[in-house]
Structure 1
């Protein structure tokens, strides 16, 4: 799944590559997929961007927004590829969205697993529930240690849910999914099942630093090495914890990395460094 570092990388590349290009045709899926959610019929999806000029591309949370004429192409909460094609030679056989430009280049989206693709009137797009960040943007100036501690305290006082739930299922930290969560919690020394209410202020501040460190490093490296950028190149960020490190020694203490299933996904952790 694409998370914040991958989305930011792709949006930056799209902005550099696509702004100023005119869309001559738009196409919905060449291969139907029941877990791709468009929000409109084929005719509308294909008509809205056609004839428009790409004027901006931005990222928010796990979403990319491309302004095309009076409309916005939104895609996110997805696994798969978003690729630029200088010619038809590299077009995928199966895609779920394809934009062709007047200079002969193209842009395709191919969803793996599930994903959301929408083309909305730009004014309506800004009001859409998935537009921008619905929570505290973790790389903004507003994401201070004090504000992070305050939000944890507020959440923890209201229920007994875990830090994993708060970070990827709750509304407070958009852009972080299960992949980056593993390294963030490892660097913060927090077990994924730990109740938010049990996290001290000092631990919360350490977790704040871990979020900044992990996401900044991943963005600088173009995302995870399990995902690809706009040109099909793998990112350079290798996760500390994941399927490849399960059963291997922890880099800090040497204990073997463990795995458990929790809240609908895998959770990897060091039994000694995380509590």
Structure 2
């Protein structure tokens, strides 16, 4: 059985790294380390030593150039101390079967970096972007999301619905063209959709869809199913008492069910 070694990347405005690491440990990660981006480039951390990579939420670079844009540029052009481009390390990480989870700002980074949706397995080629919420304001509330059971995503296996908190100002998916959106739909790369809390069905209705993303997209995966990016925060629902319905006796599945699936996948793929 493989050991699950999780790397949580922080710095430059990220502020959910501790929650994300805590969620990974609760999910069964054998080793979980929070590291700064500079630790990777300086060679103090060896990316090949890990098999689960988490890009947490926060306000990366203050979103000054658009959500995740500056972070994506940093990863695209940076190299390690010995001159190895970080994109080369990331590609090798994926080739070894590693899993990647991007949450909120981390999702924005993955999209801007071109790791999602990766149609035709064209990684590091931007195909969609994320922009301002339709509401024109920061949205901070709990939402219900519906899992696409036809998706190849390993994180969402055997899950139907989740209640999760959202807290973002730029969460609306914008594909480069209608053909891109059509392929994302037909190839089942939509992993999660905002859902009506009464019917459980995908919805475009505000506030259940907090940002106006087409097809109610709340999260995307890649064709391998080993990369997941989502705007809601699964790491922030790591205990039943986190849920606003706790005192009313509501006991929905924890958000860390996504990370538990990731851990099970890695342990079963030595």
* Coarse TM-score class (shorter-chain normalised): under 0.3
**Which of these two proteins has the greater Rg computed from alpha carbons?**
1
> Larger RCO: Structure 1 or Structure 2 (Cα < 8 Å, ≥ 6 residues apart)?
2
Normalising by structure 2, we get a TM-score of 0.27
Normalising by structure 1, we get a TM-score of 0.27
